[in-house]
Amino acid sequence: MNFLFIGDIVGRGGRQAVKELVPELRREFNCPFCIANGENMASGSGLNAKCVKDISDYVDVITTGDHIWDQKTFEHEIKQFDKVLRPANLSDKQPGNGWKIFRNPGSGEFAVINLQGTIFVRESAYCPFETVEKILEEIPSRIKCIIVDFHAEATSEKAAMGYFLEGKVTAVLGTHTHVQTADAKILPGGTAYITDVGMTGAERSVLGRDVNAVVEKFRTGLPRRFTVIETGIRLDAIVVSYNLTTGEATAIKNISRMSSI
């Protein structure tokens, strides 16, 4: 069995690339379900109901991260969407779910856990390691496929989480840094791992933003408006193959595709 995971979607151009390329990728790699990190879908910062609806026909689960509440309306809108997760290790007083069991007709039940790192991340969050331990105790034993989106800045924290969950989950997939890493692998315990899936955003950009503005900010230290680039979009993703009976990952493949946008 295979599933597709799409790297951080940036802006309108990223959403358009998802609509253009994901149906083709799901057919090509025979993926009954697709997960996407969508925390940058609304003009590059956060997401809203319009953005979620825009890609709802193309992805089955939307994960997020530290920009989850950048769009002020979304703390109310998130209650409309069963498929959207927010980091599980945020305060319980925040709306939404941090993990959930989903069912896909082609692949049975699977669980998705959304976690946020604590190193170099602006928002305070509880320990992701303790949080995921508690979640795993709650997931019924019948659920064999468990996928973790670890939205974190520090590569060391991501790598540690991969080894911490080795043999306990199907995949630990890093998001947030918008650059696809070259370390996709199957850990000996049967867990697929990659430090960062990458980004669905402009190829000629700095993490989806205007190159000149970002360079100028670095050169001068002066504030600059970082405009989201909506053309020349590249979609980064991974495909994970796993054993439907045991939940163990058997293969992981990096993907990067240019859209026509």
Residue 154, judged by CB atoms within 10 A of its CB (0-12, 13-18, 19+), counts as middle
Return d(Cα 33, Cα 165) in angstroms, integer. 22
| Closest C-alpha to 39, from 151, 124, 123 | 151
Reduced to 3 states (helix: H, G, I; strand: E, B; else coil), residue 51 is helix
Of residues 67, 151, 176, 178, which has the active-site annotation?
A: 67
- Residue 57 sits at the vertex; the CA angle it makes with 206 and 33, to the nearest 5 degrees, is 85
67 is catalytic: yes
SS3 state of residue 132 = helix
Residue 56, amino acid:
S
Residues taking part in catalysis? 67
